[in-house]
Chain A
Amino acid sequence: MTAAEPARDSAPAPSAVADFRAQARWQWYEPLFWLGAIAWYFLLPTYLPLGTQILATALFALSLDLILGYGGIVSLGHTTFFGVGAYTAGLLARYGWQEPISCLVAAGLLAAFAGWICSFVIVRVQGIALLLVTLGINLVLYEAANKAYKITGGADGLQGIEFSPLLGMFHFDMLGRTAYLYTLIVVFLVFLVARRIVYSPFGLALRGMRENWKRMPALGAGLRRHGALIFVLSAAIAGIAGALLAESVQFVALDSLAVQRSVDVLTMLIVGGTGVLYGSFVGAVVYMVARDQLADLNPAYWYFWIGLMLVLVVLFTRNGVVGALADSAAWVQRKRGRGPAP
């Protein structure tokens, strides 16, 4: 342990970089996952609208994962940005701009701007105050959209919006084929960006914020600027998710701004697993397929099971479904006696 001692092994230095390369490498299950999403299109043609909703919602959950799972910032009002995106696309279409891709971009930009504004408030507070502030922003926006019914349609939602064919060629058909493929492609592209964020220097800084918020400033990290950046990025993604949903169902419900949705998406993420990229997708699939299958159930009772699921996840799993899968995979490996060194 002597500092005077010269750096004895300079040879393993390349292995240091290899650590980070290995992290960012594609895993075997990743192509499978996306192939599965393509297979859905061919195998479940009657469930395309559900698939589209799952994809858009998963993207929304992914945006929350970036701030919560990676950055460690708990938000009870993330649907603020989802709603801003949905209403941006919806209002643009309603007032004559119906080209879907530019609507998507506009939604992302406006949501990012909203995220930037909110970040000023959010990075100042922690704990209960943070919960309250995120919740408060959400509530204010919900009330505003509700009251401004002349523009937003209030509680009836934004109805009768239409988008022009994609690239001027593909109509949004009744069966939802165009919508599904369009959503899948956009979600995949945005996922690639999120994946890059996670394995970038900023991704490491985010994990540092999650692991030890207090230590970061003592190491020279400007938490406010970090917070502002992650909120901009996350809000942009949430906004794109909102716009995708608005475009594929040609409708914006006031619900897209409801606190309930913020809690729903939080639930999905937790059930899926935080900080593991695919947790949001797994969570969205589990949650929405279950809800679809139990649709006959009174929605009031549905929430009993959701609540129970939350309690069980918190008490018994380390990190949702993905965490449980990883744990059991590790267990199987240990059983076979060729587990990784501890």
Chain B
Amino acid sequence: MTGVALATRGLYKSFGALRVTQDVNFTLPAGARHALIGPNGAGKTTFINLLTGALPPDAGTIELDGVDITGLPPDRRVKRGLARTYQINTLFPDLTPLEAVTLVMCERHGVSRQWLRPLARSRAIIEEAYALLVQLGIGDFAHRQTRHLAYGHQRVLEIALALATRPHVLLLDEPAAGVPAQESGMLYEVISGLPKDIAVLFIEHDMDLVFRFASRITVLVSGKTLREGPPAAIAEDAEVRAVYLGTPVHD
């Protein structure tokens, strides 16, 4: 797959008087590793919510693989290969990781509304789910209730759920949020090890990680795109340094 995976044109969103997204024109090439950075409250999460359809934009269009998906409900976008993770864990506390990933795979294989067939008979799906957990390194915890998992493993499960939908565009909202520094590096190893045909857009506050893993960076400030470019150019940019890198990240 070559060309543009995801693109927005003239995207706007306000909450009352607060303008959170203003005229964002954004392009994500297929297979990209793209970082979205910006101060707290810049509108990064809102941008992802617009992309996934969790929020309707006030104006503008969103295209996935060249098809306008602006009016599609979230679940239909997922079926077209757009998946996301959440900044704050949004998991299924009482399900085991195996159950949760199996649930997602059942949705993808279109068997989730089979109501008379025992789930255990969907052997291939369950094994695929388990293999994904093993691949991401949390196979040992597959049978434990999510609520009892260590926080770091829950973060990996966030990604596992998104991957289980077999996306080719993956939106990661601060995947390493709250994970201790040494572990967050490992988390990003997992991310960079993802198949090359998946385009990844990730939000990240840790600049080391951003510069290590991103091939391109977009800086969002007050809902507007301030700069976009390769890491080297962004690091050099005076204005970016002033509004963002220069001032300490107020966390």
Interface residue ranges, A against B (CB under 8 Å): 1-5, 7-10, 12-13, 16-17, 19-21, 24, 193, 196-197, 199-205, 207-208, 211-212, 214-223, 225-226, 229, 233, 342
Contact = CB atoms under 8 A, between A and B. Distances in A.
Contact of B123 (A2, A17, A219): A17
Given A17-B120, A24-B118, A212-B92, A220 B78 contact: yes
A3 B114 CA distance: 32
B103 A219 contact: yes
B205 to A, nearest CB: 21
A201 B52 contact: no
B243 interface: no
A5 B137 CA distance: 9
B62 interface: no
A304 B78 CA distance: 50
Contact of B115 (A21, A200, A211, A342): A200
26 contacts: A1-B136, A3-B137, A3-B190, A10-B134, A13-B127, A16-B129, A20-B120, A24-B119, A196-B115, A196-B116, A197-B116, A200-B117, A200-B119, A202-B114, A202-B115, A204-B103, A204-B106, A218-B75, A218-B78, A219-B78, A219-B83, A219-B103, A220-B79, A221-B107, A223-B75, A233-B115
B218 interface: no
Given A201-B119, A203-B119, A218 B84 contact: yes
A1 B95 contact: no
Interface in B102-131: 102-104, 106-108, 111-120, 122-123, 126-127, 129-131
Contact of B90 (A24, A215, A222): A215
A236 to B, nearest CB: 12
Given A201-B122, A217-B74, A219-B78, A16 B161 contact: no
Nearest to A14: B127
B78 A1 contact: no
B134 A208 contact: no
A17 B120 CA distance: 6
A217 B75 contact: yes
Interface residues of B, number: 62
A196 B74 contact: no
- Which of A24, A203, A211, A226 has the most B CB atoms < 10 Å from its CB? A211
A193 B52 CA distance: 37
A229 B113 contact: yes
A1 B189 contact: yes
A199 B119 contact: yes
B115 A229 contact: yes
Interface in B74-110: 74-75, 78-79, 83-84, 86, 90-96, 98-100, 102-104, 106-108
Q: List the 7 shortest-distance A-B pairs measured between CB atoms, nearest first.
A: A3-B193, A220-B78, A16-B130, A211-B92, A202-B115, A1-B137, A217-B74
Interface string B39-53: 000000000000010
B187 interface: yes
A220 B117 contact: no
